């Protein structure tokens, strides 16, 4: 059964109408699309892009990681381990290094020597190989097994498989992470072997008003003029292997680095991205589209916007607060914008109608081909799951987007396990745990402003009380609302006044002499603790049942589609593994009477520039260089202008930030950093006429390094193709 399903999957068709250029393709499928890529203008072979035994393009693509979590992509551009990513990807690292006295976030930073480079505080993973482990994971299962039993077997097999893959590395395992990733909604499993380098250092970053020019106003919009890049270097031990930070480490020698083209681009040129797209759900059920567009996405947008309003009010008034909260605002704002666009686009009736038609086609196929025994309950499982999500889905959403965006409430969440241990007065474990917690308080509260956090607390209280069923809200929160007659500012004031989590000195003192009774009196703790207990208690069985139904329905649906269309290859949904997408440099018609060119120039910076503005300020020197047209070798050879950003019709999503955009010869022409507003809902369906990747032109990056930063040492390190 397993082999039959897998062979069908390799010839499955997409749920949507496919075109040759749709898809974020796993490296294992490159041979299937090589001819189509070469027909678009690629001069490389599949082996040139991904080879296990020889150096290939994939050896120049990195996965940015922090505490095991992937968050962006990047590309190696020198034989000394220099790599590029987006400015917004390096933002946290840059902010953590910056101080009010040496504000490199605002002013920019360029290391003129290796000795000036600064530890960045994250890691990178380099993909070394991919191995199909589906048979190992499926051992002892059948396609239509009871979902609980099947899930338990799969989970045990996954753990054993991951352990076996790691052990197969021998002594090298200490430097590796092996992820077993799920493809085709649980119909295939691939093991990804990442060699993890731990000594990463900041080499260069433009000033914030260059790397983030346009702010939230321009986010997801075209035309763009953002020079969204930052530069880091990988360091290694004496054997070129991963090592902890040490002054004796040397720049990493990569197997491959990307040459950098300054020849320029034109419409129709081949463009390929390689990176780590996060998540797409292009088979979302029709009722899921309604849930997302009418409830889940609008609620996320509202909650995030209210928190952002608090941040911005204080950031505009105090430059030190702006530095402290810049990364937080950027993190919340990016997906606030995206979720808003998705809610709007997914509300369009034609999207729902298309899904319903495809689901009807599926149901007819099941009946006609007597497949009800395996696939007959798929649509009913979807219907039941989304009916339940409409009732309880927001409780998890508000934990993620509300409580987790409050420093005191997040800190209180981390205290929950300590509280349980403290209740056992016969054990000293709680005291030991509290002492360990106390050692990390300064780090937890490094981005903390009391005036901001108190207002954020009021926002969270409001949204919990007004948007959720009171039946499943903390009793302490409801009692506080009753006392204050739903005055949310007063609720926040009362909870704040005596809370340990609003004052680091009180919290540190508590950790030196902890007690469960002190936490029982703390309103921020009791509200947060009761909320998480409700999620893990009363709501847990219902949430678990929803997840089981969705997992089964999604898996069976794709397995059925494989049988329905056995001759067409398609790319699985993105899942934070390395993917390739291909297309061409391309303009687009955004709407009636609006056609967008495929590139922008430095003229647009001058046109948008507002001195001292929160979003559209720019360095005086940059404006002077633009006015003088002092672009050097980075000017476009045909127009004499400095290209800033460009469009291509590559298929990407979140996680691709920082991905290289590569021409047909395997040379770097840009860095992907955004998608366009008109295709904001592309995670749910490819939009060939509208979907565009927005990238910063590599010539603009080099211009900023050279002409604005004066860091010719960095330019000289690269392999420039003229």
Which of the four pLDDT bands, split at 50, 70 and 90, describes residue 261?
very high
Q: Contact 189/181 with Cβ under 8 angstroms? A: yes
Q: Is the pLDDT assigned to residue 625 strictly greater than 90?
A: yes
The C-alpha atoms of residue 540 and residue 528 are separated, in whole angstroms, by 16
The C-alpha atoms of residue 433 and residue 435 are separated, in whole angstroms, by 5
Instruction: Pick the closest to residue 203 from 227, 234, 177, 179 (CA basis).
Output: 234
Q: Contact 290/586 with Cβ under 8 angstroms? A: no
pLDDT (tens digit, 9 = 90+) per residue, 336-366?
Answer: 989 999 999 999 998 899 999 999 999 999 9
Q: Which residue reads 């016969």 in tokens?
A: 426
Q: Which two tokens stand for residue 707?
A: 């002409």
Q: Which residue reads 């211009």 in tokens?
A: 703
Q: Is the pLDDT assigned to residue 669 strictly greater than 80?
A: yes
What pLDDT shows up at residue 203? 98
pLDDT (tens digit, 9 = 90+) per residue, 296-316?
Answer: 999 999 999 999 999 999 999
Instruction: Please indicate, yes or no, whether the overall pTM of this predicted structure exceeds 0.85.
Output: yes
Domain boundary assignment for the chain = 23-56+71-120+197-275+580-673+686-722, 286-541
Q: Is the pLDDT assigned to residue 10 strictly greater than 80?
A: no
DSSP string, 334-393: HHHHHHHHHHHHHTSHHHHHHHHHHHHHHHHHHHHTT-HHHHTTHHHHHHHHHHHHHHHH
Q: Which two tokens stand for residue 501?
A: 């989590």
Distance between the two ends of the chain, CA-based, in angstroms?
A: 54
pLDDT (tens digit, 9 = 90+) per residue, 546-574?
Answer: 999 999 999 999 999 989 998 888 899 99
Which of the four pLDDT bands, split at 50, 70 and 90, describes residue 5?
very low
pLDDT (tens digit, 9 = 90+) per residue, 218-227?
Answer: 999 999 999 9
> What's CA 688's distance to the chain center, in Å?
23
> Which residues are annotated as catalytic?
88, 228, 657
Q: Which two tokens stand for residue 549?
A: 């139904």
- Average pLDDT of the segment spanning 234-263: 97
- Average pLDDT of the segment spanning 688-693: 93
What pLDDT shows up at residue 327? 87
- Average pLDDT of the segment spanning 228-257: 97
What pLDDT shows up at residue 67? 87
More confidently predicted of 10 and 486: 486
Which of the four pLDDT bands, split at 50, 70 and 90, describes residue 1?
very low
pLDDT (tens digit, 9 = 90+) per residue, 488-521?
Answer: 999 999 999 989 999 999 999 999 999 999 999 9
What pLDDT shows up at residue 680? 93
Which of the four pLDDT bands, split at 50, 70 and 90, describes residue 14?
very low
pLDDT (tens digit, 9 = 90+) per residue, 395-452?
Answer: 999 999 999 999 999 999 999 999 999 998 778 899 999 999 999 999 999 999 999 9
Instruction: Pick the closest to residue 462 from 488, 484, 495 (CA basis).
Output: 488
What pLDDT shows up at residue 608? 98
Q: Which two tokens stand for residue 467?
A: 């948007």
What pLDDT shows up at residue 22? 83
pLDDT (tens digit, 9 = 90+) per residue, 81-110?
Answer: 999 999 999 999 999 999 999 999 999 999
| Main-chain dihedrals φ then ψ at residue 454, nearest 5 degrees | -65, -40
Percent of the chain at pLDDT exceeding 70? 97
DSSP string, 569-618: --PPPPBSS-EEEEEEB--EEEETTEEE-SEEETHHHHHH--TT-TTT--
The C-alpha atoms of residue 584 and residue 686 are separated, in whole angstroms, by 16
Q: Which two tokens stand for residue 308?
A: 């952002």
Number of H helices, E strands in the chain: 30, 23
- Average pLDDT of the segment spanning 11-20: 36
Q: Is the pLDDT assigned to residue 118 strictly greater than 50?
A: yes
What pLDDT shows up at residue 317? 92
Mean of pLDDT over the chain: 94
Count CB atoms within 10 A of the CB of residue 482: 9
Q: Is the pLDDT assigned to residue 2 strictly greater than 90?
A: no
- Topology adopted by domain 23-56+71-120+197-275+580-673+686-722: Thrombin, subunit H (2.40.10)
């Amino acid at each position: 059964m397993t082999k039959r399903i897998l062979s069908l999957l390799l010839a499955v068709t997409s749920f949507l109408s496919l075109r040759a250029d749709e898809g974020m393709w796993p490296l294992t499928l490159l041979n299937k699309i090589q001819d189509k890529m070469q027909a678009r203008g690629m001069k490389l072979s599949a082996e040139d892009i991904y080879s296990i035994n020889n150096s290939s393009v994939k050896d120049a693509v990195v996965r940015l990681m922090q505490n095991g979590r992937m968050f962006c992509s990047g590309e190696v551009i020198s034989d000394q381990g220099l790599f590029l990513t987006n400015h917004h990807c390096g933002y946290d690292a840059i902010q953590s290094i910056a101080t009010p006295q040496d504000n490199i976030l605002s002013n920019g930073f360029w290391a003129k020597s290796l000795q000036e480079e600064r530890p960045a505080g994250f890691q990178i993973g380099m993909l070394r190989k991919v191995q199909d482990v589906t048979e190992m994971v499926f051992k002892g299962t059948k396609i239509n097994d009871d979902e609980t039993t099947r899930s338990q077997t799969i989970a045990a097999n996954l753990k054993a498989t991951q352990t076996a893959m790691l052990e197969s590395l021998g002594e090298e395992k200490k430097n590796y992470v092996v992820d077993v990733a799920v493809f085709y909604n649980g119909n295939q499993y691939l093991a990804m072997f990442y060699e993890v380098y731990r000594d990463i250092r900041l080499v260069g970053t433009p000033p914030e008003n260059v790397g983030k020019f346009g702010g939230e106003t321009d986010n997801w919009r075209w035309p763009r003029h953002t020079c969204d890049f930052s530069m880091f270097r990988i360091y290694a031990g004496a054997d070129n292997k991963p090592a902890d930070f040490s002054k004796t480490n040397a720049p990493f020698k990569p197997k491959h680095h990307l040459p950098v083209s300054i020849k320029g681009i034109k419409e129709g040129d081949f463009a390929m991205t390689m990176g780590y797209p996060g998540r797409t759900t292009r088979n979302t059920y029709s009722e899921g589209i309604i849930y997302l567009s009418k409830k889940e996405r609008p609620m996320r947008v509202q909650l995030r916007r209210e928190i952002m309003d608090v941040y911005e009010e204080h950031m505009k008034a105090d430059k030190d607060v702006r530095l402290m909260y810049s990364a937080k605002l950027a993190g919340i704002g990016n997906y606030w914008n995206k979720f808003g666009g998705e809610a709007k686009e997914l509300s369009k009736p034609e999207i729902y109608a298309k899904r319903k038609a495809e689901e009807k086609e599926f149901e007819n196929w099941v009946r006609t081909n007597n497949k009800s025994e395996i696939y007959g309950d798929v649509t009913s499982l979807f219907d039941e799951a989304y009916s339940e999500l409409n009732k309880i889905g927001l409780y998890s959403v508000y934990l993620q987007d509300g409580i987790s965006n409050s420093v005191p409430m997040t800190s209180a969440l981390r205290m929950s396990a300590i509280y349980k241990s403290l209740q056992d007065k016969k054990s000293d474990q709680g005291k030991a745990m509290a002492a360990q917690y106390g050692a990390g308080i300064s780090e937890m509260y490094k981005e903390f402003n009391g005036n901001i956090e108190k207002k954020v607390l009021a926002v969270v209280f409001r949204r919990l009380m007004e948007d959720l069923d009171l039946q499943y809200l903390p009793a302490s929160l409801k009692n506080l609302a009753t006392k204050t007659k739903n005055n949310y500012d007063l609720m926040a004031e009362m909870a704040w006044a005596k809370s340990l989590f609003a004052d680091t000195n009180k919290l540190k003192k508590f950790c030196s002499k902890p007690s469960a009774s002190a936490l029982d009196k703390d309103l921020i703790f009791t509200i947060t603790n009761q909320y998480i207990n409700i999620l893990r208690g009363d709501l847990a069985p219902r949430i678990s049942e929803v997840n089981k139904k969705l997992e089964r329905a999604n898996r069976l649906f794709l397995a059925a589609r494989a049988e329905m269309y056995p001759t067409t290859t398609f790319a699985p949904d993105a899942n934070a593994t390395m993917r390739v997408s291909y297309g061409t440099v391309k303009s687009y018609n955004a709407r009636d009477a609006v056609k967008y060119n495929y590139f922008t120039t430095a003229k647009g910076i001058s046109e948008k520039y507002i001195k001292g503005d929160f979003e559209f300020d720019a360095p005086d020197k940059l404006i002077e260089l633009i006015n003088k047209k002092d672009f050097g070798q980075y000017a476009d050879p045909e127009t004499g202008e400095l290209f800033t950003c460009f469009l291509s019709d590559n298929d990407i999503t979140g996680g691709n930030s920082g991905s290289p955009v590569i021409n047909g010869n395997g040379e770097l022409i840009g860095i992907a950093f955004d998608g366009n507003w008109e295709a904001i809902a592309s995670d749910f369906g490819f939009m060939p006429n509208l979907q565009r990747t927005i990238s910063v032109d590599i010539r603009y990056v080099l211009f900023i390094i050279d002409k604005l930063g004066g860091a010719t040492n960095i330019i000289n390190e690269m392999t420039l193709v003229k």
